[in-house]
Structure 1
């Protein structure tokens, strides 16, 4: 679809800029805030005696379980509602979930609403970009995808900046404040969702064998990336605070650094992808991630560890639009198949991230609290993801000589 499609397909269609803004708002509400804002609230939930310490950790898993359920159920939901209606509904549910959590009626009540926020996040992840990107010119899809998923990075940064400010008002007020912010973002995005374009029936299974095999490698790679994410995302704060002995204040500062990296990642990688292609960016990013682990394992200076944390943060949100771009390139001109494949990729990512969370927790205990072991295992997962990426080069649709993988394929 050309750049005029959004303007020519009817008066109800928003501008491309408004559609991208809607996607950014959705990713910020559904993932950025709904998932990452919970982490800095954990100490306050325990100190306020809302729940016991073990229950608070259990409630944190509710969002991940809901995310997996949402990734599995979104395709069925879109058979009943349009993508636009589903996205609006999920943003409202995520916003209401924040407000509902301001009243800790019971463990079940709280778990249910954290579960709902996870479902909403997964649905937004599956639908937002695949609803918007068909209307974006091919030469700008990387940048547009990065802008849509910028909300992930903004949410991580907000968890280290906005949440502490709200906590000064009180724990209940913090939940309500997050809900009001989310409702405001929902209102901004409400008319920004385009009508879905006509799509062919899914053909990802019935398509060429090369595309099918390449997609399986993409799923494998995304699963390995999910595993590699966990040490930095889950254990970084504890590593700085207790592993290095620098205290909770320094740990909060490093989490903000991680968040700033996550803000830069989607846009930076997106711009680069528009120039050299998604595959080249993924290969480069994976290599950099492996190198960035070295200061964490060997270094003891903030001057070396802070840049490494920033680099690791760029990958947290930046890799998402890159993998989506790869999926779209493998299934050109078939929106339905793209959405189906992206839903599977999101499901795989959610499953392996949840499994890795438990696995790394066990490894942390087994290693007697050695954070460096976790970082090395995470780097190993990135190395395996890089091997899978190199395997994708064997398929003619993905060539290292392709200047823009979202366009026609050029062999070298």
Structure 2
């Protein structure tokens, strides 16, 4: 630990504070800002704040903003520094929660949901690049899992904290989420590490003609298909159990709780796999399990089977993030190029996630609500992501896959 402290000028306590700050950021910007909206949808419609079509439209605003934020994250950090950009984005998300407590108009709500999405995309691009350089290489998989555990906590919180807050009313719920976000922003404020000097980070700028390994582009494609594969269960799982299988809202809520349990377990367990098996082998294993789980979901009807599958599938959305990040670090040893590659991977993920959301919704409406078809298509997308890993590499690649 003394070697780490001397090398990075950050004591061990500072390292864990940085990881905690990263967890707070992912919890606020993705875990709460995106996933807490889902259980609020019925209340927004019942309270007549907005029509059903407007509520869906407002939900899409966050996904669109996420894509914009993924594109703007690194340029923003160059102007403000990573630490200041992360602080600013957490404040933006907090302000959005408070603003959404007031149903001024659809345009008002859309703007704030869009801003919260922009903040989430920017944070996703910047948080790992800010924290992981201060973590020993052998522990970065586990550390990144701890950072993105915040997403899982937010998913779990969407099924627990939000219903409790709703007992006090819709406006009180938004204000409560804003207060929680403000507390987490304050707790993380002084935990962010300073940006490393390029020399300290081992950063050597690539020459203009330095080739990018084909494996990196294949990872972008894999990550995109992973995004397409996680959308149906994330959006339609509860409706499938409650209405599709006729099990009712209570059983649907219990299955969603199991999805949340999986979301908590996923990031750290996937990060642990990356540290011990390597990212590539771990991704193959996880994709095989996910494709199988989605296929079984389409034919399972017992509560036990649905609960187990929900937990497995729930581990995937937050868990695949540290795995993909670890794969970037395997393929790209240069610190600066790692940030570039991770930013592009996030853009690829955000693009396919947003597009897939619209396509699945259209298919769902066109087929009269065929959940199983969506799950099978999602399983197919995961299979494609797995098969892409077996595409032959280009000879002479600068980084071995």
What is the TM-score normalised by the length of structure 2? 0.94
The residue aligned with 2:329 is 328
**Alignment gaps of 5+ in structure 1:** 400-412
Alignment of 1:13-412 (within 5 A): 15-199=14-198, 200=203, 202-203=205-206, 206-209=209-212, 211=213, 213-332=214-333, 334-391=334-391, 397=399
Q: CA RMSD in A?
A: 1.9
Task: Give CA deviations for 1:69-120 in whole Å, capped at 9, x if unaligned.
Answer: 1011112212211000000001111111101110111111111111110011
Following superposition, the deviation at residue 391 of structure 1 comes to 2.8
Contact 2:29–2:93 (Cα < 8 Å) also in 1 = yes
* Distance change (3 Å), C-alpha of 1:97 and 1:204: farther
Measure, in 2, the Cα distance between the counterparts of 1:226 and 1:11. 35
Following superposition, the deviation at residue 139 of structure 1 comes to 1.2
Task: Give CA deviations for 1:347-382 in whole Å, capped at 9, x if unaligned.
Answer: 111111111011111211232211110000000000
* Distance change (3 Å), C-alpha of 1:362 and 1:386: same
Contact 1:149–1:321 (Cα < 8 Å) also in 2 = yes
* Distance change (3 Å), C-alpha of 1:10 and 1:138: closer
Task: Give CA deviations for 1:149-195 in whole Å, capped at 9, x if unaligned.
Answer: 00010000000000000000110010010011011111111111111
* Distance change (3 Å), C-alpha of 1:262 and 1:52: same
- Stretches (4+) displaced over 2 A: 2-14, 198-209, 365-368, 390-399
* Distance change (3 Å), C-alpha of 1:313 and 1:367: same
Measure, in 2, the Cα distance between the counterparts of 1:340 and 1:3. 30
Contact 1:217–1:392 (Cα < 8 Å) also in 2 = no
**What secondary structure does 2:159 align onto?**
helix
Measure, in 1, the Cα distance between the counterparts of 2:120 and 2:302. 36
**What secondary structure does 1:390 align onto?**
coil
376-385 or 249-258: which moved more? 249-258
Following superposition, the deviation at residue 254 of structure 1 comes to 1.1
Measure, in 2, the Cα distance between the counterparts of 1:237 and 1:170. 23
**What secondary structure does 2:301 align onto?**
coil
**What secondary structure does 2:102 align onto?**
coil
Following superposition, the deviation at residue 397 of structure 1 comes to 4.4
**What secondary structure does 1:127 align onto?**
helix
**What secondary structure does 1:193 align onto?**
coil
Paired residue total: 395
The residue aligned with 1:402 is none
Measure, in 2, the Cα distance between the counterparts of 1:109 and 1:36. 20
Measure, in 1, the Cα distance between the counterparts of 2:143 and 2:208. 28
Following superposition, the deviation at residue 248 of structure 1 comes to 1.5
What is the TM-score normalised by the length of structure 1? 0.92
Following superposition, the deviation at residue 208 of structure 1 comes to 3.6
